[in-house]
Amino acid sequence: MVHVHWAQCKGVMWFSVLLLLLGEQLSSALCCPSNCSCSQEGALKCRGNITDVPSAMPLQTHLLQLIQTQITDLRLYFNQLESLQAGTFDNLTNLLQLDFFNNSIREIPPRLFCHLSKLMRLTLSRNKLKSIPNESFYYLPEITFLSIYRNPLTFLPDQLIGLMPRLKEFYLYDTELETVPENLFANMTVLEKLSVNFNKKLWHLPKNIFCCLPSLYRLSLQANSIQSLSLELFSSLTSLDTLFLHSNKLRSLPSEIFRNLKRLTNVSLHSNQFGTLPGEVLSVASLREVTLKDNPWNCTCDILGFAEWTAHRRSIIKDYGHVLCQAPSHLRTNLLGSLTSESVQCGDAPGRTAPELAVDGGHTMPNRLDDITHDGTVVATRIQKKGVFKEWEGSTRVGRHQRSSMDLGMYLHMLLSVYAVDTVFGSCPDGCKCGDNKILCQTITEFPSSIPATTTTLYIANIRIFSLKPSDFDDFAEALLMFVLKDSTMTEVLPDTFDKTKNLVALGLMGTQLQSLPNELFQNLRDVRSLTLSNNKILNFNPALFSTLVALEDLDLSQNILTSIPGEAFNLLTNLQQINLEKNYIRSLSKQSFQGLGELKILRLNANDIKELPAGCFNDLGNLEQLSLQDNQIEHLPCHLFSKQQKLKKLYLSSNCLALLPEGIFLNLPNLVQITLFENQLHTLSTGIFGPMALQELWLYDNRLTHLEDNVFSNLTQLQLLVLSRNQIRSVSAGAFSGLTELGEVSLHTNLLTSLEEGTFSGLPKLLNISLENNIIQFLPGKLFHSLPPLRQVDLHNNSLFSLSQELLDSMDTTEEVILTENPWRCDGEIRPLRDWVRRYHSKVLNASILTCLSPASLSKTKITDVSDEDMMASTPQSSSTLITTTNTWVTPTEMRRLPLTLTPKKSAPATPANTTLQKEQEQDTSGSDADGLSRDSKIIIIAFVCSAIIASVITCCICWRRNKHSSRDLHPQAKTSSVV
């Protein structure tokens, strides 16, 4: 009996243990994350308000479905993903961060991310993508960080990037690209950091590739295979601070390629193939660090200009001691900055590199005399081979602005209009051409001798002299009316040089190495009307230098190295009509700078470093007609700065740092017909800025405007074109365009508009073109275009429109052309008006054949015109789940593959490549979540089950012990051979 009872107890105990084990298994099975359901087959299905990928999932889970969740971060880096299925992320509309770097993704479907309108960070780097489909990065208006680097990309489509008004960083390095589309960065209007480096096959950059990046301050182009750069490449990068160009295959640079980069502090040019560079290529006042080593510098006469610059700015050249000559052999390893004309043995060899001119000068065409003025005017005269001068079928004039005064070019045309053979009045100097008392000399090594006493005009180009002295003019000083010396190695003009040339009316010293002029050089030139001192190296001048030039009408000091203007330098030049000070390094002006110049009509101060204009500095310029202040760093304008310029016709203020315009600043300019304000930092416009004026065009693109108030342009009653594109405009008041009765075109493209008020375009009887593309417009009121005349074009492409109302479409019946592509059209019942309208007016809808549905999924990419009524009304539920596995493919709910799931990323990442400018992507560990994922009911069930098993075990043990004790009373004592544990 004892044996039987013990066997029974033993059976009960094993049952209890079995219950405990079963409890553990059941507990494991019941450990299903909150808001999720788990199947026995290993499928985990989560829906509702979960905000992260579940971290406490059953071990056998092989399939994860995320349905209508609130997940904001999805990090799938360091896995083995090879492909992504269309529609994968359609329901994760709250995603803010999506990371795929360090996988094996070979392709992505078109518009994979088009529903992620809140996404702020997207990383696809370190995968195996060879191409990316069209429009892959459209409809991402909130994105601030995008990386696709370290993929074997060989091609990028033209239509890849949609409007990204908040993108700050973009990384595209270590690819197989040979070039990039010209508009690749056009929609990244606030981009600050850009890396297009370590692309070993990249040899070409389109000249307008950086056209629309006014906020870019760091640009990495190093370690590519770029062979040349266009002059305009960096011209729009007005905020650029750091530029990496090292380790390319560059052989030369345009002399003014960095001219507009007023904030540039760091340039790396080492490890290229430069043999020489123009002397002024790095003459940027803000530069603080340059690298130049490991280039094959060819130390001939052509490099002297650049060598002088390196010696002068050695403090900013980080590798100055390693910038060494590589040729010729006798100068090899010589320090570039130590070169002189003697050590290079120039002699009759070509002279120093002269600054590039706007157009070619006379020395480039031995049989043709060209005089080029600073504004592009070309006066050309052909010289016959036998020495006979003949006027060349009228002079060719090219340029934006024609001068009102008689400048040096006009004198040349006047004085060289009649020619005769050089034997008329005696011998002609060697290397010159002569005729009718006029002499043209080119490419000579000394000042011409034996010049006839009757010479009235002497024009010398490309001469190898180092000084100009009084004795050079002894034989012909009295007769000389015009003297021009252009493109020379000359470094000095001796005092009294022009004392005897009292009859001069035009004098030009251009393209020389002059840094200063004697104080009394012009003391006897009381008849000079045109003085051109452009394209030299003049650093400063004495305030009295020009004081005796009482007849002077035209003064050109452009393209020098002036940093300031002496306060009273021009005060006595009361006949001045034009002053050109453009392309210097002027930082400030005084109130007296232009005092007394009541006859001045044209003042050019553009392309300098001016930050501030003193109040009243233009008060004496009552006859001023043109004022050029563009391409400076002007931060604000005094309230009444232009109050005395009632005759002003043209005002250029573009490419500055203006954030605010004072009320009434343009109130008293009734004759103004042209003004430029683009490429500033304007964030608002008040209603009192513009007064009544004859303005016909207003360019305000590339600013930071966010709103347009009522009546802001109401005084511009003659305005025909209004350009407000590439700002940050979010709203436009209904009366913003009131009063613009002559307006023919309004451009609002590339802003942040989500809608427009109903009366925005009312009262514009001559409006023809409306540009609203590249915004995020979701809705347009039906009466938006009511009361307008028949429009020529309405551009609505690349917005966020789902449908258009019948009323709005009816108002466009008479429009000649409508552009509607690149919108997320939703082809349900609300698309019917658009479908019918496009069918009816197919010819006026540009690219109607590619006007397709984005949703529902069953109609994606279907032409809108092909959608039937049955399609619209059919029940076509979209894919309701997002499936994530770490296998080579992404699966659908019906496939239900039993595959292991791994979501925990590795904690470490490969180091960033040496010399890159990329900040390492943040790779955070998501495995340490402390949430167990169990619901309250599940916990109660598990606790109750475990407690029951424990109680049952205790009771069983007690019963067995009692039975054993009771039975032992009837037996003889025996040695204990066993015990119950």
Show the tokens assigned to 791.
Answer: 């429009």
Residue with tokens 């509702």: 48
Query: What is the mean predicted confidence (pLDDT) over 770-786?
Result: 95
Task: Name the residue ranges covered by the structural domains of the chain.
Answer: 937-968
Residue with tokens 């203007």: 565
Show the tokens assigned to 845.
Answer: 């809808």
Query: What is the mean predicted confidence (pLDDT) over 975-979?
Result: 30
Total Cβ atoms within 10 A of residue 843? 9
Beta bridge partners, 612, equal 588, 636
Question: Residue 568: which pLDDT band, with cuts at 50, 70 and 90?
Answer: confident
Residue 47: the pLDDT is 60
pLDDT, tens digit, for every residue of 881-896?
A: 333 333 333 333 322 2
Question: Residue 254: which pLDDT band, with cuts at 50, 70 and 90?
Answer: very high
The answer to whether the CB of 75 falls within 8 A of the CB of 103 is no
Query: What is the mean predicted confidence (pLDDT) over 210-227?
Result: 94
Total Cβ atoms within 10 A of residue 396? 11
Alpha-carbon gap, residue 648 to 805, rounded angstroms: 47
Taking CA atoms, 381 is separated from 384, 415, 458, 509, 532, in Å, by 10, 11, 15, 20, 20
Question: Residue 356: which pLDDT band, with cuts at 50, 70 and 90?
Answer: very low
Residue type, 719: L
Nearest to 654 by CA among 604, 702, 715: 702
Residue 453: the pLDDT is 92
For 223, counting Cβ atoms within 10 Å of its Cβ (0-12 exposed, 13-18 middle, 19+ buried), the class is buried
Instruction: Fill in the DSSP letter of residue 72.
Output: -
For 877, counting Cβ atoms within 10 Å of its Cβ (0-12 exposed, 13-18 middle, 19+ buried), the class is exposed
The answer to whether the CB of 934 falls within 8 A of the CB of 57 is no
Residue with tokens 């091609």: 155
Residue with tokens 């078109």: 110
Nearest to 139 by CA among 770, 725, 801: 801
Instruction: Fill in the DSSP letter of residue 338.
Output: G
Show the tokens assigned to 717.
Answer: 């009653």
Query: What is the mean predicted confidence (pLDDT) over 868-888?
Result: 55
Output 142 or 69, whichever has higher pLDDT: 142
For 306, counting Cβ atoms within 10 Å of its Cβ (0-12 exposed, 13-18 middle, 19+ buried), the class is buried
Q: Is the pLDDT of residue 491 over 70?
A: yes
Count Cα neighbours of 938 within 13 Å in the Cβ-side half-sphere.
17
Question: Residue 20: which pLDDT band, with cuts at 50, 70 and 90?
Answer: very low
- Across 187-191, 344-348, 927-931, the highest mean pLDDT is recorded for 187-191
Total Cβ atoms within 10 A of residue 476? 20
Nearest to 697 by CA among 674, 717, 724, 714: 674
pLDDT, tens digit, for every residue of 279-296?
A: 889 988 889 999 999 999
Phi, psi (5° rounding) for residue 5? Answer: -60, -40
Alpha-carbon gap, residue 160 to 376, rounded angstroms: 39
Query: What is the mean predicted confidence (pLDDT) over 789-794?
Result: 95
Alpha-carbon gap, residue 180 to 198, rounded angstroms: 14
CA 409 from chain centre, in angstroms, equals 38
pLDDT, tens digit, for every residue of 258-275?
A: 988 989 999 999 999 999
N residues, the chain:
981
Show the tokens assigned to 610.
Answer: 């001016």
The answer to whether the CB of 323 falls within 8 A of the CB of 335 is yes
